[in-house]
């Protein structure tokens, strides 16, 4: 359990206490677990320090001279810059009326002196987990807004640079490709918004009701739910079988809501070995424990969905940008060797090449050609990326350069599963893709075809049978004229 209490990030914690012994003890405890801690001996200095550098969390003593903890809290909550910083009160006062006042002023938790080291660490970690969740959500929202802005800008660029017939296809294609990730993002944001308004503000009160031991098991349950969840892979029948096993083990607790408890345990990734979490079921509010665990799990899931959908948006933007650029004529033509443009494309694709894919390169002794080198780099990049997608994680991509009469030929051969002959003619159509909406824009080969046309070349697709001596099943051959006058 100790690993669960180690700080994941160097969160900034401000500790305010006029008793030096308490101040040093808290600083020692928190720095030992890799938190960044700033000690302050009184309320006035605390307000100044917070104004200069707002912390992620404040541990605040109540009984202090000049400004007591209540007054400091009131000042912070009246300042828009500091009102959202969570405050944990630490005091020797154990009267209910004082605790009520602390929470009424905006405190998120209350620890009574003399405090236990593990209690302080557990409560601090809970609050910082919420702080980090809010930071992640804010960052994802920022990235989403930036992505949408880029998408709109690139769409305008495409509209200006494309022909009317292609525009109709692009509009339809953008709608199809964007709807999937945009819908996922909107759904996730709606869920996060709902969680934030209805449940997150109640988490501190709920956690305060758990014993230290129960809080440890609660954290372990959260960790399990956020790790690889094998229950997501179970069929409906297998889930029912697992539920029956869990219900049998829950029978001894004589709970009123065994069915609901079993469903939530399965949602949180539990298998039939649920004995580790039995201490949580002894809580008076065991249903709230599981419901809050499911809440936090769903927040993580929504953040993951936003991250994945944002990555899909970035892919769409990249392809749309390349598509728009391919219509422009600002690049300079010059003499270049094809092997150099291919090597540059391989460098660009390096991060997307799985470890199990090998390259065989046969660059013949061929002359340079007069061309647009930057555009040819994009051409080879899209063809290589297409070969990588066809292979998956294990295979060989062969690249040949050779001369045939007054043309230079480049072969890109992959050992993938091959292409359905019926779709070969559609492969270079804008937005045509065999993948699900949102996974691929279908512009890669369209861009490749436009670059080849600009160089007055040709592209051919050969479907190689398993009996061929060549190491692949699909071969793209690009032919570029040596005597090209651009």
Q: In the prediction, which pLDDT does 71 show?
A: 95
Strands 395-404 and 357-363, by their bridges, are parallel
| Lowest pLDDT segment from 10-19, 208-217, 284-293, 453-462 | 208-217
Q: What is the pTM of this model?
A: 0.40
Tokens of 8: 């994941």
- pLDDT of 390 higher than 80: yes
Which residue reads 């509209």 in tokens? 159
Asked if residue 127 lies in contact with residue 59, where contact means CB atoms within 8 angstroms, the answer is no
Axis-axis angle for helices 286-325, 164-198 (nearest 10):
160
- Report the topology of domain 2-115: Rossmann fold (3.40.50)
Cβ burial of 63 (10 Å; 0-12, 13-18, 19+) is middle
- Which one, of 415, 478, 421, 422, lies nearest residue 448 by Cα? 478
Count CA atoms closer than 13 A to 32's CA, side-chain side: 13
Question: Distance of CA 166 to CAs 118, 311, 423, Å?
Answer: 65, 26, 20
pLDDT tens digit sequence for 313-348: 655 555 555 545 444 544 678 899 999 999 988 988
The per-residue pLDDT for 163 is 43
Mean per-residue pLDDT for 233-262? 80
pLDDT at 190: 58
Q: What pLDDT does 338 receive?
A: 94
The arithmetic mean of pLDDT across residues 466-481, rounded, is 69
Tens digits of residue pLDDT in 89-146: 999 888 889 999 999 999 999 999 888 888 899 999 989 988 888 888 888 878 877 8
Domain boundaries, the chain: 2-115, 140-301, 334-481
Nearby residues of 174 by Cβ (< 8 Å), 6 or more positions away = 155, 316, 320, 431
Asked whether the predicted pLDDT for residue 421 surpasses 90, the reply is no
Taking Cα atoms as reference points, which of 478, 410, 401 lies closest to residue 445?
A: 478
Q: Which residue has the higher pLDDT, 432 or 361?
A: 361
Strand partners, 52: none
Architecture of domain 334-481: 2-Layer Sandwich (3.30)
User: Six-digit token pair at 53?
Assistant: 């550098």
Which ranges of 162-211 does DSSP label H, i.e. alpha helix?
Answer: 164-198, 203-208
Mean pLDDT of 58-66: 92
DSSP 424: G
Q: Which range has the worst mean pLDDT, 51-55, 266-270, 465-469? A: 465-469
pLDDT of residue 479: 94
Query: For position 40, what pLDDT does the model report?
Result: 95
Residue 106 gets the label, from left (phi > 0), alpha (psi -120 to 50) or beta, of: left
Cα 69 from Cα 117, distance rounded (Å): 21
């Amino acid at each position: 359990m100790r690993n669960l209490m180690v700080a994941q990030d160097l969160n900034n914690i401000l500790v305010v206490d006029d008793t030096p012994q308490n101040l040093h003890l808290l600083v020692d405890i928190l720095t030992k677990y890799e938190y960044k801690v700033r000690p302050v001996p009184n309320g006035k200095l605390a307000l100044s320090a917070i104004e200069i550098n707002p912390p992620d969390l404040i541990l605040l003593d109540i009984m202090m001279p000049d400004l007591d903890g209540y007054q400091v809290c009131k000042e912070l909550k009246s300042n828009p810059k500091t009102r959202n910083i969570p405050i944990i009160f630490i005091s020797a006062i154990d009267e209910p009326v004082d605790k009520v006042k602390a929470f009424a002023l905006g405190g998120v938790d209350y620890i009574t002196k003399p405090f236990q080291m593990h209690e302080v660490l557990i409560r601090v970690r809970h609050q910082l987990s919420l702080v980090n969740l809010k930071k992640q959500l804010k960052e994802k929202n920022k990235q989403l807004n930036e992505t949408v802005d880029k998408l709109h800008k690139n769409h305008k660029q495409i509209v200006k640079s494309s022909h009317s017939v292609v525009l109709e296809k692009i509009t339809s294609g953008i709608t199809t490709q964007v709807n999937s990730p945009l819908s996922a993002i909107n759904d996730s944001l709606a869920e996060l918004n709902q969680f934030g308004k209805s449940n997150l503000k109640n988490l501190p009160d709920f956690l305060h009701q758990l014993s230290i031991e129960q809080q440890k098991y609660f954290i372990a349950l959260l960790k399990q739910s956020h790790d690889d969840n094998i229950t997501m892979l179970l069929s409906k029948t297998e889930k029912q079988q697992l539920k029956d096993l869990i219900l049998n083990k829950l029978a001894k607790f004589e709970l009123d809501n065994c069915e609901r408890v079993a469903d939530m345990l399965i949602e949180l990734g539990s298998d039939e070995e649920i004995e580790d979490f039995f201490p949580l079921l002894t809580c008076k509010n065991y249903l709230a424990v599981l419901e809050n665990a499911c809440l936090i799990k769903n927040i993580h899931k929504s953040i993951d969905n936003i991250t994945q959908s944002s990555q899909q948006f970035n892919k769409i933007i990249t392809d749309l940008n390349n598509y728009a650029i391919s219509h422009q004529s600002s690049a300079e033509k010059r003499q270049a060797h094809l092997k150099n443009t291919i090597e540059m494309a391989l460098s660009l694709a390096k991060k997307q090449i799985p470890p199990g894919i090998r390259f065989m390169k046969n660059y013949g002794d061929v002359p340079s050609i007069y061309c647009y080198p930057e555009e040819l780099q994009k051409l080879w990049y899209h063809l290589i990326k297409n070969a990588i997608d066809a292979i998956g994680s294990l295979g060989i991509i062969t690249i040949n350069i050779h001369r045939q009469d007054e043309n230079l030929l480049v072969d890109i051969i992959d050992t993938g599963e091959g292409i359905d002959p019926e779709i070969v003619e559609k492969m270079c159509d804008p937005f045509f893709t065999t993948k699900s909406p949102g996974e691929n824009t279908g512009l890669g080969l369209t861009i490749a075809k436009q670059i080849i046309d600009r160089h007055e070349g040709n592209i051919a697709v050969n479907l190689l049978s398993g009996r061929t001596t060549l190491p692949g099943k699909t071969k793209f051959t690009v032919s570029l004229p040596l005597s090209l006058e651009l």
